[in-house]
Amino acid sequence: MSDEFILECSGLTKEFAGFVAVQDVDLQVRRGTIHALIGPNGAGKTTCFNLLTKFLIPTRGQIRYDGNDITALNPADVARLGLVRSFQISAVFPHLTALENVRIALQRQRGESMDFWRSKSVLNSLNHRAHELLDDVGVGAFAGTVAVEMPYGRKRALEIATTLALDPQIMLLDEPMAGIGHEEIDKIAALIKRISAKHTVLMVEHNLNVVADLSDTITVLTRGRVLTEGNYATVSQDARVKEAYLGSAHA
């Protein structure tokens, strides 16, 4: 059972001062698939990500990853196990170069890096792999550019390269297409498709064309609860889903 699903949660609930943002969510992410989490604004998607990666402490519920209960772990330990997230708002290290951004992630291989007495030139041995990762997501030309000066779409690609540098088992991508142009969307979508050959992907995405194209399974969340789950054909025909999206900007 746990072999089939890499990430599962049951009864996952988060209350903020009485307001229930996520309520009794059961989710099962099948190994090697692209699983989308969709829903109108404020449905609780990001909160779910925060709970699954332990950036927030669940009020109730259990999270299992790779067969183990991770409910009590801290976020850094969760990441070390290979469950790595990105953020809804672009999360790069703005004043480091693209190369340095990826290298920080690769540096995890060295362990804790508490060695303050050693020259950082020891990190040059990671440069080759860093350049490979940058090239792989199509930002090789920006290696020496500080992240803050990169175009937005390229920053999102850099984030993916940084996440990939940890060689995660599962990547949680929070709106990887948010705020980027048409051409870029196709590029990132193709990239995610390619990544999914080696890594399981759970993503939040508002762009339904992308979701339709990429996802094996779609879970629809509204007001903190799971409304329905299935493939795109099933979910998009569901009357309740249409209703939930009615009036929403992304419908």
Ligand X SMILES: Nc1ncnc2c1ncn2[C@@H]1O[C@H](COP(=O)(O)OP(=O)(O)OP(=O)(O)O)[C@@H](O)[C@H]1O
Binding mask 54-73 for another protein (x = CB under 8 A): -x------------------
Rounded to whole angstroms, the Cα distance separating 73 from 92 reads: 24
CB of 138 to another protein, least distance (A): 11
Q: Residues near 128 by Cβ (< 8 Å), separated by ≥ 6?
A: none
**For another protein, which residue of 47, 162, 200, 215 counts as binding (CB under 8 A)?**
162
CB of 203 to Mg ion, least distance (A): 11
100 binds, among ligand X, another protein, Mg ion, none (CB under 5 to 8 A by kind): another protein
Rounded to whole angstroms, the Cα distance separating 184 from 197 reads: 21
127 binds, among ligand X, another protein, Mg ion, none (CB under 5 to 8 A by kind): another protein
Sign of the four-CA dihedral 138, 141, 146, 151: negative
Among 210, 212, 245, 216, smallest CA distance to 230 is for 216
Rounded to whole angstroms, the Cα distance separating 145 from 50 reads: 30
CB of 200 to ligand X, least distance (A): 20
With tokens 């692209």, the residue in question is: 34
* Residue count, binding to another protein (CB under 8 A): 52
Query: Among residues 38 and 99, whose Cβ is nearest to ligand X?
Result: 38
**Residue 128 engages another protein in binding (rule: CB under 8 A):** yes
Contact 158, 100 (CB under 8 A): no
Query: Among residues 13 and 88, whose Cβ is nearest to ligand X?
Result: 88
Q: Residues near 54 by Cβ (< 8 Å), separated by ≥ 6?
A: 63, 70, 73, 74, 75, 77, 78
Rounded to whole angstroms, the Cα distance separating 77 from 165 reads: 16
**For Mg ion, which residue of 27, 44, 46, 65 counts as binding (CB under 5 A)?**
46
* Residue count, binding to Mg ion (CB under 5 A): 3
96 binds, among ligand X, another protein, Mg ion, none (CB under 5 to 8 A by kind): another protein
124 binds, among ligand X, Mg ion, another protein, none (CB under 5 to 8 A by kind): another protein
Rounded to whole angstroms, the Cα distance separating 172 from 203 reads: 6
**Which residues sit at the interface with ligand X, rule CB under 6 A?**
16, 19, 21, 39, 41-47, 88
Residue 162 main-chain phi, psi, to 5 deg:
-65, -45
Q: Contact residues for another protein (CB under 8 A)?
A: 53, 55, 74-77, 79-80, 84-87, 91-97, 99-100, 103-105, 107-108, 110, 112-120, 122-124, 127-128, 131-132, 134-135, 140-141, 143-145, 162, 166
